[in-house]
Amino acid sequence: TFTTTDDERKTADAIEKASEVKQSGQVAIRIWALSELRRAREHDGGKRLADIWNMEYQYNTTDAKKDEEERKLTYLQWDEMSDLIIREGLLWNSNGSDDSDVSLLAVTQKHQDIPALVSDADGLHKAFQEMLLPDCANTSLRHKIQNQPLVIGFDTEWGDDNPGTGLLQLSTIHKSILIDVPALSMSIDGATALRNTVGRLFAGTLFEDSNSSNMMLVGFEIKEDLSRLAKSPCVFPPIRRSVHIPLTTATVKSGTATFPEKKNKNNASPSSSSSHWLSMGTSAAYDLKSFIAQDTSTEGVANGGSTINSKLNGLGLSRCTQYYFGKRLDKSEQCSHWTQRPLTHDQRVYAALDAWICAAIYTKLITKRNIKQD
């Protein structure tokens, strides 16, 4: 007869326990994954995974209400921007404010629509104008807005089906725009409009006057964003040589700035020379992470003669948002289909907030004098 030794029994018991632990770990991971899908309102995906794993996926109106309340407590919401601007003093810098300014700003911001997708040349020109000069009937508030440094946050979204970007987001703390890069890039008018607005913004040639140094364009971990923008497929718009758009900070502030594509003196056909709408370069774009690392409001560590913020170094944009404003960014839409049209409501909110928060964080840093503004 075959007999089992003590060592063999111990080995078998250990293998059985390891298997139970492994199964328990798998179940725990699956329960967590389903709960995260439920929180992200990805119910179709949750149900499919639950079926594959032979598990239940339960979701009802009570769960929906509870999850929504938790999300609002955890993540920054679109309709919270005006309160955040007022609470943090992002608008007035050192100029102060009065109750009428605060009240009007709150009303204006709370009624700001979630930006629609800009897909044509005329729409891009109009959106740029509105971003550079927010529409505000109150003279006092309008003057204060105009005299703040022009801080523009940016971000991009893309998919694996395209080497370029599927979406470009630009935002001041007052106005966000969503730019349909693939649609605009596929027509001469659209690509030309991109060059005259986005191209000049990133090249630092949007304004002719010396006050252009008062503008800051910031994104977060921008290397891939800039690479994607440059690789975006497009028709090459003709280059009009010896032509320059007379855009200055004065014309922007007066509301007279435009972004026309001027014809040459004899109304002749444009030059056959052409290039990508971003070919003027991206030297005006700065990485917000480098400014966050210089934040002197928290303890830093010396590193080669400079100071690196030890608390924020290595954090993503969502965690940095939590540090500066008390709530994280909701990243549940990050891997959604960004080349698919139309974009969903949640995609547009996610995209706009990503660019807006870059402008807001940088504005807070310079407003609170936590970094030096060059």
Q: What is the pLDDT of residues 158-192, one digit of tens each?
A: 988 888 999 999 999 888 999 999 999 999 999 99
Q: Does 211 have pLDDT greater than 60? A: no
Considering 11-20, 44-53, 116-125, the range whose residues carry the highest mean pLDDT is 116-125
Grade residue 141 by pLDDT with cuts at 50, 70 and 90: low
Give 218 or 372, the one with higher predicted confidence. Answer: 218
Q: Does 305 have pLDDT greater than 50? A: no
Stated pTM of the model = 0.76
Pick from 37-46, 246-255, 273-282, 352-361: least confident: 246-255
Give 229 or 160, the one with higher predicted confidence. Answer: 229
Grade residue 57 by pLDDT with cuts at 50, 70 and 90: confident
The pLDDT, as a whole number, for residue 258 is 55
User: Average pLDDT for residues 192-212, to the nearest whole number?
Assistant: 85
Q: Does 353 have pLDDT greater than 50? A: yes
The pLDDT, as a whole number, for residue 220 is 98
% the chain with pLDDT above 90: 39
Pick from 279-288, 307-316, 317-326, 359-368: least confident: 307-316
User: How far is 358 from 92, CA to CA, in rounded Å?
Assistant: 18
Give 334 or 121, the one with higher predicted confidence. Answer: 121
User: Average pLDDT for residues 273-298, to the nearest whole number?
Assistant: 88
Q: Does 329 have pLDDT greater than 80? A: yes
User: Average pLDDT for residues 252-270, to the nearest whole number?
Assistant: 45
Please provide the average confidence, as pLDDT, over all residues in the chain: 79
The pLDDT, as a whole number, for residue 92 is 55
Helix ranges (H only) for the chain are 6-39, 43-52, 61-74, 81-88, 99-110, 121-132, 139-146, 181-185, 188-194, 200-203, 223-231, 249-254, 288-292, 317-325, 345-367
The pLDDT, as a whole number, for residue 101 is 56
| DSSP-derived secondary structure letter, 5 | -
- Residue 4: which residues within 8 A CB-CB, separation 6 or more? 12
Domains by residue range for the chain, with CATH: 18-66 (no CATH), 75-237+275-372 (3.30.420.10)
DSSP 116-171: PEE-SHHHHHHHHHHHHS-----HHHHHHHHTS-EEEEEEEE--TT-SS-SEEEEE
User: Average pLDDT for residues 53-75, to the nearest whole number?
Assistant: 84
251 Cα distance to chain centroid = 27
Grade residue 121 by pLDDT with cuts at 50, 70 and 90: very high
The pLDDT, as a whole number, for residue 194 is 96
% the chain with pLDDT above 70: 70
Pick from 32-36, 189-193, 211-215: least confident: 211-215
Q: Does 209 have pLDDT greater than 50? A: yes
Q: What is the pLDDT of residues 230-257, one digit of tens each?
A: 999 998 866 654 334 445 555 554 445 5
The pLDDT, as a whole number, for residue 232 is 95
The pLDDT, as a whole number, for residue 352 is 97
User: Average pLDDT for residues 141-168, to the nearest whole number?
Assistant: 84
Let me know if 231 is exposed, middle or buried by CB neighbors in 10 A (0-12, 13-18, 19+): middle
Give 106 or 238, the one with higher predicted confidence. Answer: 238
Q: Which helix (H) or strand (E) is 308 found in, with range? A: strand 306-309
The pLDDT, as a whole number, for residue 310 is 65
The pLDDT, as a whole number, for residue 2 is 53
